[in-house]
Structure formats: C-alpha cells, structure tokens
Structure 1
C-alpha cells in the first residue's frame, strides 16, 4: 500500500513474547542479574517484544531454601522457558558438602538437562582500559578473541576417575580426558565466528 503509515502496520503486528528463567544463583550473580534483567527489559521495549521473567533458586540459595542445589521446579521451569539467564553458582559456605550437595552440582545438572554444550567467553581489550591491565600495552591493545569452552566432555565430566596407589606406594588421582565425536562436532559449528 503506497502511502500507508508505517506505524499502522507496526501497530497491527502482534508482539513477540518470550519467557526467561532468571537464575541469579550466589555471590556476584545476586548483583549482576538484576541489572541484566533491567537491560533486557529495555531492549525488549525498544525492539517491540514482551519479556516475562521468573526468578528461580539454584546452588547455595536453593540449598538454604529447599535443601537441594537444583530444585525440580527450577529445572522444570528452565526447560519450559525460551531462555535462561544464569548468574553464578557456588559459595564457600558449601565447600565441605558432599558432592551431590555442592552448589556446582546444580550447574552440571542444569547444563546436562538443557543440552548446553559450550559457553562463549569473549576477550576484548578496550583502548580506554588498556592501562588497567598488568599485560603489556603492545601485547594487549587490539585483543579481540572468542574462546569457545566445551562443557560436556573432557576431564570435567569423563569417567573413569578416582584414586589408587602406584607401584611406589604413592596415592595418585586420575581423571580420564574423553571426548565423543558428537561433542567435538558441536564445537566445530562455531568455526569461523
């Protein structure tokens, strides 16, 4: 339609709506996640989509509230959401807990349940902050990297692992480094980013 105002077309277009599971976790997560939610709300309003947020416990907060690091409700709602906004998991208060009751166990369980196979860790040195690092200026200026960290295989998750005694009678620990073809091919998808 020639001459039709753009606003009328936009006004009649249904808004997209997304549900985000907000999982602040512990420590710095409690500080940065509320700011992240504010930023997402602003982006949604500027881009014309609705965002609904539901805060869910994980890690130490969940241990304090319900006695387990990953409550079933948190896992169920995370699976039902369009996205998950996760803060930090872990807290020194729980360092001596048995492994199934450590906050970090919740992170591993959540990753596995959601099929999260990697995380992206950008490294960029901004010119106005180059003097804030201990790195040499000529080495750090212009750094712009993307580190792709695989999360499902390797030493973190592989078996067998454990403790034994070697031929000299020394106690030794072992943890097998293991990757499947599927895990490698998932990471390979990022080639060329």
Structure 2
C-alpha cells in the first residue's frame, strides 16, 4: 500500500526517538512491499522559535492531508513561562481538535522481561494489560469560561469542566468496542468508567450517560469507580482492570500514574483517534525529557510502539503492527536495555542502537 505520514519531531528528545521510528517504518515498507512517504514539519517550541506559532498553518495542512501523524514531543523549560501567551502545548491541543481526535488510547502492558523494572512487586504487575481511553477534546482543558484576572484578593484563575451527552457517548462506545475486541482475543471484556460523581455535576451527567451506553453492550462487564479510589486501585490491584474510560483531566493524570506500573514512561505508546477515516495522531507519552536531550540515551521504544499502533489503526496493517510489537518483545527478552529500564550492573544501549536492534529483529 501507499501512505503519507507526517512526522512532527518537536522538542527535546522528540527528534531522536522519531528518527528511530522512521527507521522501523522504512524496514516495514521494505519487508512488506509498502510505500510510506514521510514528510517532516515544525511543531511545539521549535515552531515558536522559528515562526512564533506552536502549530504553523503549513504544519496543520500537512497533517490534515496525510494518512497519519507521528509526533515526538513538545515543550521544555525554554517555553514553560506560565504567563507566556504562546506555549508549545497550545499547538498540540489545537492539532488534536483540528483532527477531531476525541479518544486517546493508551495501552499499559507489562512486558514479562521488564516485570522487575516496575516499582511495584513483580507478582503484582505480572500480566497487567490495561487500555486507557481518555476523552481528549472536551472537559476542563477546553471548557469555557477560562482565564485569569486580578481581583481584590489578588490573582485569580478559573477553568470550567463541561461535558455533553454526545462527547460522553462517543468515547464510551470506543471503550466498549475495544473491550469487545479484547474479549474476542481472550481478554477480560470489562469496562471501568472513572468519574467524580459524588462531587461534580459534570461527572453525574457522565455516569448517567455511561450507564445508558453500557446497556447497549450486555456482553461486556461494566463498573463505575471514583477517580480517587482508582488512583489507589492502580497501585494495589492493577491486574483487575481491562479497559478504563474517563474524562480529559482524570485520564491525563491516571494514565501517567499507570505508566509507572511498567517501570518507565519510555515504554508507553498512545494513539489519538477520531471518527472512522479521520487522520490519527500517534505519540509516546513520555514528553520531551529536556534533561537528556541530545545525549543519545532516550528510550525510543514508546515511539516505535506508537508506530505499530499507527500501522494497525490508521493504515489497517495488522500483521505489520504485530511484527513490530514482536520485535520489541524479542529485543527486551534478549536483555537489551536503555538507561531508563536498566537495572544496576546491566549493559545499557543508546537510542540509535535500540532502534537498530528492533530493525534487525524485524
């Protein structure tokens, strides 16, 4: 097949890890006879420096005309002034909104070879395989009114959490469909909806609509869990969960917490998807890690696994995606480790070497 893929290397370690994913894409294209045309564009802090805009119109146009977008990372201390009118993260939010990417899919799977890397006991994380579905274009990050002002008591800021029935239904249906697919493959077949319905009116609407959607899927188990309880359950019984669906802010926090079950942010991919046929956005969840940028030690596996998600979800290449995931598993099983997942005394490999090892295993 032929596909056009827009690469947004971004800031910090973004260019380093995207380069390794590009090598994997080239290897898959060669192995399976595909043509992947890649085009790179500016996004994030580097785009602010060069154009004054974290998502230039040229970049957005390239993203919209392609089949998929692979993002490295955006942001860093250089652009972190909270009073700045233009910030890298604004570009990312605009991109998600422009793509209509309302569902963020974050798999949290513990590779057997890395069970000991988790800060939790190995027997607690064994066989953990969770998919977080985070609503991505609504909630408090996009609610209005929003802003800051100076009042009699000093500086004040306000944000609004708002969800409507349509936003809740569509992301719940993504979660239930995933649960059905996972059940067919031998998974639990359960959806956990996370909210704060005991306090927030928006969460009470969320729960009411979620129950209505759950009734459409009688073959799938369902439960409601309050967000504070979920934060505890992820630590003391992570193996109990299958598909977890929640709003934008709660999903942002909980999926980052869950990532540490695996031992490193450098292992977790993500996909941001909209309606069928729309352009998908794929990115590692680890951020720009400016403290290690340019040192050649960043873990590229989350970006490579994000590429596998892209092959599967945007390009319909299930076999190719599986080959990439198997290659990553084989590299880890052989004992190869980047600095973030290496135990004391283990030999460490760099970013490029890890990418080369995955390509060799393809």
TM-score (norm 1): 0.83
Structure with more of its chain in strand, by fraction: 1
> Which of 175, 179, 193 in structure 1 is aligned with 2:159?
175
| Structure 2: distance between partners of 1:18 and 1:88 | 23
| Structure 2: distance between partners of 1:162 and 1:67 | 22
CA contact (8 A) 1:150 1:187 kept: yes
Larger Rg: 1
Residue 91 of structure 1 deviates from its aligned partner by: 1.5
| Structure 1: distance between partners of 2:150 and 2:22 | 51
Unaligned 5+ segments in structure 1 are 1-15
Residue 97 of structure 1 deviates from its aligned partner by: 6.5
Name the structure 2 match of 1:134.
Answer: 119
CA contact (8 A) 1:99 1:105 kept: no
Larger RCO (CA within 8 A; separation ≥ 6): 2
Bigger mean CA offset, 143-152 vs 62-71: 62-71
In structure 2, relative to structure 1, the CA distance for the partners of 1:53 and 1:90 (3 Å cut) is same
Residue 160 of structure 1 deviates from its aligned partner by: 2.1
In structure 2, relative to structure 1, the CA distance for the partners of 1:184 and 1:99 (3 Å cut) is farther
Name the structure 2 match of 1:118.
Answer: 103
Residue 172 of structure 1 deviates from its aligned partner by: 5.5
In structure 2, relative to structure 1, the CA distance for the partners of 1:98 and 1:56 (3 Å cut) is farther
| Structure 2: distance between partners of 1:122 and 1:96 | 32
CA contact (8 A) 1:118 1:187 kept: yes
Whether 1:59 aligns to 2:29 is no
Aligned residues: 177
Bigger mean CA offset, 94-103 vs 169-178: 169-178
Name the structure 1 match of 2:302.
Answer: none
> Which of 11, 17, 20 in structure 1 is aligned with 2:5?
20
Q: Provide the secondary structure at the position in 2 that maps to 1:27.
A: coil
Name the structure 2 match of 1:158.
Answer: 143
Residue 136 of structure 1 deviates from its aligned partner by: 1.9
In structure 2, relative to structure 1, the CA distance for the partners of 1:79 and 1:125 (3 Å cut) is same
In structure 2, relative to structure 1, the CA distance for the partners of 1:43 and 1:155 (3 Å cut) is same
In structure 2, relative to structure 1, the CA distance for the partners of 1:181 and 1:45 (3 Å cut) is farther
In structure 2, relative to structure 1, the CA distance for the partners of 1:138 and 1:172 (3 Å cut) is farther
| Structure 2: distance between partners of 1:71 and 1:59 | 9
Whether 1:103 aligns to 2:52 is no
> Which of 11, 17, 20 in structure 2 is aligned with 1:35?
20
In structure 2, relative to structure 1, the CA distance for the partners of 1:77 and 1:165 (3 Å cut) is closer
Whether 1:185 aligns to 2:169 is yes
Deviations 1:152-182 (A, max 9, x none): 111111112345799xx58654322111222
Root-mean-square deviation over aligned CA pairs: 2.2
| Structure 1: distance between partners of 2:42 and 2:128 | 36
Unaligned 5+ segments in structure 2 are 179-362
Name the structure 2 match of 1:147.
Answer: 132
